[in-house]
């Protein structure tokens, strides 16, 4: 199996590590009281990256910027951060505390000038979130339908110079029912290499299924619930991914 990167996921709300089901805030549950401690645990276990989302910022209900700064400062591995990143000032603030890659979601869909500026400044330090429900990209913390099909959005992002596209099947997120390979194939066909899978990984075996898409350019997988519930370890997943 071609090696893919593992991204343990930490969602932060109210200063705590949480998990949502299908992106619904009403189904939020606390999985660890201290996101920084959880990040240190994943990093110490060998995680090559961490994927962190500020849920409050994504929903427009607050910010966990201070927690994120502390988290980034306590781990040796690179951290990518998303959630409510909608201005150049947001990007600069996150980069200023050591965030290695900033994830643009709503801004990539609605603010072409900001995306272009971020890519021109450092394309490798930018990822775009293609959060999809029923084949269409959703924005504003997964609460609004953009009306743009995934394939069209993915192709447009590649044309803009995006190198990393995080594809989440919202219906699968937090469910553990398995990744949506059809959605990922559509994204890969439109975008090419650099797609990162997110949503639905519920068993160690699911990462092997994702491995079948590595040759098509699947670059990594974001895993949240499986790890925070202790049903798999970072080491186990790295082994299945060819070493991470």
Residues belonging to the active site: 11, 131
What are the start-end ranges of the H helices in 33-160?
Answer: 35-44, 55-59, 65-74, 88-96, 106-110, 112-122, 150-160
Q: Is 102 helix (H, G, I), strand (E, B) or coil?
A: strand
* 35-44 helix and 65-74 helix, angle to the nearest 10 degrees: 30
Q: Is 77 helix (H, G, I), strand (E, B) or coil?
A: coil
Compute the chain's Rg from CA coordinates: 16
For CA atoms 227, 230, 232, 238, give the dihedral sign: positive
Distant-in-sequence, close-in-space partners of 226: CB < 8 Å, separation ≥ 6: 176, 201, 202, 203, 204, 206, 232, 237
Task: Tell me which H or E stretch contains 206.
Answer: helix 204-211
Quick one: tokens of 237? 């997943």
């Amino acid at each position: 199996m071609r090696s893919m990167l593992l991204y343990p996921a930490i969602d932060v709300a109210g200063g705590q590590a949480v998990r949502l089901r299908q992106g619904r805030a009403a189904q939020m549950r606390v999985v660890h009281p201290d996101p920084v401690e959880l990040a240190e645990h994943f990093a110490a276990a060998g995680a090559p990256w961490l994927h962190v989302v500020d849920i409050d910022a994504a929903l427009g209900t607050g910010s966990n910027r201070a927690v994120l700064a502390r988290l980034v400062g306590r781990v040796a591995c690179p951290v990518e951060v998303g959630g409510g990143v909608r201005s150049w000032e947001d990007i600069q603030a996150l980069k200023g505390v050591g965030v290695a890659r900033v994830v643009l979601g709503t801004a990539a869909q609605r603010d072409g000038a900001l995306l272009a500026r971020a890519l021109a400044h450092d394309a490798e330090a930018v990822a775009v979130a293609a959060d999809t429900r029923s084949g269409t990209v959703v924005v504003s913390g997964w609460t609004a339908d953009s009306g743009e099909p995934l394939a069209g959005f993915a192709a447009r992002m590649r044309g803009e110079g995006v190198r990393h596209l995080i594809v989440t099947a919202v219906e699968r997120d937090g469910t553990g029912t398995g990744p949506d390979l059809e959605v990922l194939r559509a994204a890969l066909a439109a975008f090419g290499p650099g797609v990162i899978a997110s949503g639905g990984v519920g068993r160690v075996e699911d990462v092997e299924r994702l491995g079948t898409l590595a040759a098509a350019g699947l670059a990594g997988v974001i895993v949240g619930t499986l790890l925070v519930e202790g049903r798999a370890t970072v080491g186990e997943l790295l082994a299945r991914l060819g070493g991470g």
